[in-house]
Structure 1
Amino acid sequence: MTGHHLAHVPSPADQERDAARRADWWRDAVIYQVYPRSFADSDGDGMGDLPGVRDRLPYLRRLGVDAVWLSPFYASPQADAGYDVADYRAVDPMFGTLADADELIREAHALGLRVIVDLVPNHCSDRHEWFRRALAEGPGSPMRERFHFRPGKGAGGELPPNDWESLFGGPAWTRVTEPDGSAGEWYLHLFAAEQPDFDWEHEAVREEFRSVLRFWLDLGVDGFRVDVAHGLVKAAGLPDIGHSEQLKLLGTKPLPFFDQDGVHEIYRDWRRILDGYEGERIAVAEAWTPTVERSALYLRPDELHQAFNFAYLTTDWDATALREVIDHSLGAMAEVGAPATWVLSNHDVVRHPTRLGGGDPALGLRRARAATLLMLALPGSAYLYQGEELGLPEVTELPDEARQDPAFFRGAGQDGLRDGCRVPLPWSGERPPYGFGPRPGGPSWLPQPEGWVKLTVAAQSGDPDSTLEFYRAALAHRRAHPALGAGSSVTWLDAPAGVLAFRRDATDGSFVCAVNVTGAPLRVPSYGKVLLASAYLEEAGDAGEGFVLPADTTVWWSV
């Protein structure tokens, strides 16, 4: 396979081992995250929407994914891109209607795609009916018990109730003006002030979310991605943290408002609801915990099904570090009988071509492709973030006036630069919005770079050297090869320093993956027939000499 990175791509007939038709489909599913406002705009207002997603479902089917995860599209004032929900049973008009959601789910199922929706149970919008009533009814009202309202400290209650900070910067408490005009109680919001935290000790909160789960399950969704799954329960008494450094959105320090043991009772309750529906409905935890072992607790057989593997996402491009996190992840998940998950990018982190490149775009894309092929070879489920199949880099030059990340507008918080991974997708054409909307030159809610003309879906389709066709080939092989996908372990092979090589076996075929994370080519054994490589293979050598594995490259072999 000299001079080319693609081998034979399985035919559509070869790909008919459809995950949607199998039990435990989620154990080896490839799940594609759609950020609806940035995916496809059907009506030309510059904002992506559910009809736009529906129209592009054949693209996702052709890509070869098994399921689509939709970031929030609920009724919301959009103080935090829809993670401030005002009505959990309504679609925000900017995204369409409930009928649009119903049609999207039906068409996805017709194409063999599962649909997972975001669920945001830690907090709601300050425009939520419950919170509006809590403000209007004043201190001591039953509605305030559904949130964390507390009197302030100090002689006049002018200080926050404790030292907790918002993950977007500043105090995690906001003081309200009472109905009589006086300065009154404070309410807790671990995120923006427009996102008050629910008090999950209150039975009305628990019953409301049981109802919300059933509402969407009845509409046909196949599962939920649970936002801030580690945050629902707070330590009794809301104790001070006792340190002053700014909290990090993606941090893993032990904290009195994250990863409290009480969350597990909630998820056992939810699992009973999910198991009451046909078709293997699932829940996926966004759970930032101090250790992989703590994350595994969310996945015991009577709790949730999967948890995002953030330890893997944050691992450096280093062979020792990668092997350690892979072994650690597989071991922890095996203890509770859950599949490992693997993810490289999402809507909250810098896109991995930029993150891995160290300022060199070409090196970043090369490493990103190698990292993707490694990820897709591991046992368990993989998550893709929209646009990574196009090799999109992080957009780092957005003007301040275009930014919309709420953390950007708070003085002491995160870097506030999450907008760079949320820029709308380029589909076709020579200039922005590159087919994101129906009109050439039309609007997009975040501006796209002028240089994306070669990164569009149209420009890359049919080009065997493109990142899009590389992803399509990788997912086709993953679906077709019996040793890929489900399972719980890998067999590590001897390899030179800087190379990870492992074997996976099935009754009707074996598979080897090797990745060279160094900056120089290294010789490895010739394991069998090359299926796919993340970069050009200029020299293969014969079986006696071994195989030259280029720098920052992953290769798959069928054995």
Structure 2
Amino acid sequence: MRAADARAGHGERPWWWDAVCYQVDVGAFADVDGDGVGDLDGVRDRFGYLELLGVDAVVLAGTAGLDPSAPDFAELLAEAHAAGVRVMVALDVDPARTDPARVLEPWLEHGADGVHLAPREDPTGAVRSVLARYPDRVVIGTGDWHLSFNLDLAIAGFAAGPLRAAITGALAGPGPRTAWAMASRDTSRSRDDAALTPVRSMALVQLALPGAVCLRHGEELGLPGTERIPMPWEGDRPPFGFSQAAGDWSSIPAEWAAFTVEAQLEDESSTLSLYRQALEVRSSHPAFTGDEVEWFGAPEDCFAFRRVGSRLTCALNTSSASVPLPPGELLLSSRPLDGEDLPPGTAAWLV
């Protein structure tokens, strides 16, 4: 049972309070019917991977042209619910040109557990009026919804000062629960070990914070950029198990053979293994409680915070030198420690 379900079962928190939401760009995730484009059956075919990763909800993006009344959505929904995973849908609703009911209702009527709304002005409250008819569904978006989608960590860059300010600002005052997103803004198509260092450390920072987390598919593999490039699953050449269709797969870099799920799954030092460990610890360790953070003194270009009411401390070093770790037992670090010190570009969890 996932931690979100366990808390809800005790009447403490709703399932989405600290949920890990995994956004799947359907057309770029897995192709089952062989037309070269990902499909809902592809998501269902790879659902075991999502269970292995340990996510609480799947958010389907790129759903234009898909039919929520079709059997493939019903089958995906049933399989997900049987595994204790919710299914949400990312929708772009512009009330200035579109009737929100026509976009939202088909998915909600056919069982979607909620929606992730693209940021749009809604001066008439038309979107809110539709969603009010489905009070049991969860909404992620910009504004006063259940979860407030927040990219401040990505915007702040990899520097302790701006990151601390972004965290403090997002958690200050009343408002909806934060849903932290950290998908790379880097548009390069290559990635080396040095480039992965901040990716790995920010994964631990993001997952240590109070609130939900929004991952985008491929983020857990350390894939660069934000383009919808097909998910690399296995093999040593494009399209890396995404599709059996013949065609031009030059949009997928050949060097991504090292980033496939297959290549990383059994490698304990891989980025995928780090995400899997982090999600497992986050969901099972009792230290991951508390809705506020308190800050400790730290060396320049570093920070350390603890979730109030818990024993969890997260430390981050964005300086160019190793620094002493805060007191506590090490749970996980984004890179191996330098003796008893935290190396540059590294984050750690301690209790």
TM-score between the two structures when normalised by the length of structure 2: 0.91
Query: In structure 2, what is the equivalent of residue 494 of structure 1?
Result: 297
AA partner of residue 537 (structure 1): L
The 1-side partners of 2:101 and 2:224 are apart by: 39
Contact map agreement 2:160 2:301 (CA 8 A) in 1: yes
Bigger radius of gyration? 1
The 2-side partners of 1:363 and 1:438 are apart by: 33
User: Are residues 1:115 and 2:92 paired?
Assistant: no
The 2-side partners of 1:198 and 1:476 are apart by: 43
The 2-side partners of 1:109 and 1:378 are apart by: 27
Query: In structure 2, what is the equivalent of residue 269 of structure 1?
Result: 129
AA partner of residue 448 (structure 1): I
The 2-side partners of 1:522 and 1:219 are apart by: 53
Query: In structure 1, what is the equivalent of residue 257 of structure 2?
Result: 453
Query: In structure 2, what is the equivalent of residue 222 of structure 1?
Result: 113
Secondary structure of 2:314's partner? strand
Offset at residue 505 of structure 1 (A)? 4.3
Offset at residue 444 of structure 1 (A)? 6.6
Query: In structure 2, what is the equivalent of residue 372 of structure 1?
Result: 203
Query: In structure 1, what is the equivalent of residue 272 of structure 2?
Result: 468
Query: In structure 1, what is the equivalent of residue 343 of structure 2?
Result: 550
Contact map agreement 2:196 2:222 (CA 8 A) in 1: yes
Contact map agreement 1:433 1:443 (CA 8 A) in 2: no
What does 1:31-430 correspond to in 2, within 5 Å?
31-75=21-65, 90=67, 98-122=70-94, 198=97, 205=99, 209-210=100-101, 212-229=103-120, 231-232=121-122, 262=123, 265-275=125-135, 280-285=136-141, 287=142, 298-299=143-144, 304-331=145-172, 334-336=173-175, 338-345=176-183, 349-350=185-186, 361-394=192-225, 421-430=227-236
The 2-side partners of 1:74 and 1:529 are apart by: 48
The 2-side partners of 1:510 and 1:266 are apart by: 44
The 2-side partners of 1:341 and 1:445 are apart by: 34
**In structure 2, do the counterparts of structure 1 residues 532 and 272 end up closer, same or farther at CA, with 3 Å as the change threshold?**
same
Offset at residue 517 of structure 1 (A)? 0.8
Offset at residue 340 of structure 1 (A)? 1.4
* Structure 1: runs of 5 or more not aligned: 1-15, 76-88, 92-96, 124-196, 200-204, 233-261, 288-297, 395-419, 541-547
Contact map agreement 1:483 1:505 (CA 8 A) in 2: no
AA partner of residue 470 (structure 1): L
The 1-side partners of 2:116 and 2:250 are apart by: 25
Query: In structure 2, what is the equivalent of residue 81 of structure 1?
Result: none
Offset at residue 470 of structure 1 (A)? 0.6
Contact map agreement 2:261 2:272 (CA 8 A) in 1: yes
Query: In structure 2, what is the equivalent of residue 248 of structure 1?
Result: none
Offset at residue 20 of structure 1 (A)? 4.1
**In structure 2, do the counterparts of structure 1 residues 469 and 271 end up closer, same or farther at CA, with 3 Å as the change threshold?**
same
Secondary structure of 1:342's partner? strand
TM-score between the two structures when normalised by the length of structure 1: 0.58
Secondary structure of 1:308's partner? strand
The 1-side partners of 2:167 and 2:44 are apart by: 35
Offset at residue 226 of structure 1 (A)? 1.1
2:330 is aligned, of 516, 530, 533, to 530
User: Are residues 1:19 and 2:4 paired?
Assistant: yes
Offset at residue 452 of structure 1 (A)? 1.3
AA partner of residue 273 (structure 1): R
What does 1:500-539 correspond to in 2, within 5 Å?
500-506=303-309, 510-525=311-326, 527-539=327-339
The 1-side partners of 2:229 and 2:350 are apart by: 36
Deviations 1:479-509 (A, max 9, x none): 0122326x43101111111111011244xx5
Which stretch shifts more, 20-29 or 456-465?
A: 20-29
Offset at residue 382 of structure 1 (A)? 0.8
Offset at residue 421 of structure 1 (A)? 2.4
- Share of identical aligned residues, percent? 38
Query: In structure 2, what is the equivalent of residue 242 of structure 1?
Result: none
The 1-side partners of 2:234 and 2:248 are apart by: 14
AA partner of residue 198 (structure 1): R
**In structure 2, do the counterparts of structure 1 residues 308 and 494 end up closer, same or farther at CA, with 3 Å as the change threshold?**
same
Contact map agreement 1:47 1:445 (CA 8 A) in 2: no
AA partner of residue 234 (structure 2): S
The 2-side partners of 1:470 and 1:220 are apart by: 33
**In structure 2, do the counterparts of structure 1 residues 328 and 493 end up closer, same or farther at CA, with 3 Å as the change threshold?**
same
Secondary structure of 1:510's partner? coil
Secondary structure of 2:210's partner? coil
The 1-side partners of 2:86 and 2:329 are apart by: 33
Moved over 4 A (4+): none
Contact map agreement 1:319 1:500 (CA 8 A) in 2: yes
